Amino acid sequence: MALKFYWYPNCDTCRKAKKWFDNNGVAFETIHIVENPPSKEKLQEMVTNSGLPIKKFFNTSGKKYRELGLKDKLKTANEQEMLDLLASFGMLIKRPIVTDGKQTTVGFKEEIFNQTWK
């Protein structure tokens, strides 16, 4: 599977990650996370591949997160409810998400990208 880069072009963190890929000659396919959010099934696969808790997939600093009052709601939500929320609103998803079908990273930290995607 080709490297898939779920991003939001207006996001500074996403642009930094894209620049890292470009500078390191890593080929990838861009997917606009708001226009084409990953399906519930794809999100489940990415959560499993990332080794991270599902809560790490939420953009906790986003407007939509605050509007929906998720800080409190997520405390009692189960994984299926969280996947439904993430699949319904692309802006709720922390970005960028990068996956090759085996590994998944969330957000951009240069040292993690160096270890995972070089």
Residues 6 or more apart whose CB falls under 8 angstroms from that of 66 comprise none
Residue 32: beta bridge partners?
Answer: 7
How far apart (Å, rounded) are the C-alpha atoms in residues 18 and 38?
Answer: 19
Per-residue pLDDT of 8-35, as tens digits, reads 999 999 999 999 999 999 999 999 999 9
Q: What is the mean pLDDT of residues 37-49?
A: 96
pLDDT value at residue 3: 96
Give the pLDDT confidence of 47-57 residue by residue, as tens digits: 999 999 999 99
CATH code for residues 4-117: 3.40.30.10
State both tokens at 28.
């990838």
pLDDT of residue 1: 67
Average pLDDT over every residue of 94-111:
97
- The whole model's pTM is what? 0.93
Task: Determine the 3-state secondary structure of 19 from DSSP.
Answer: helix
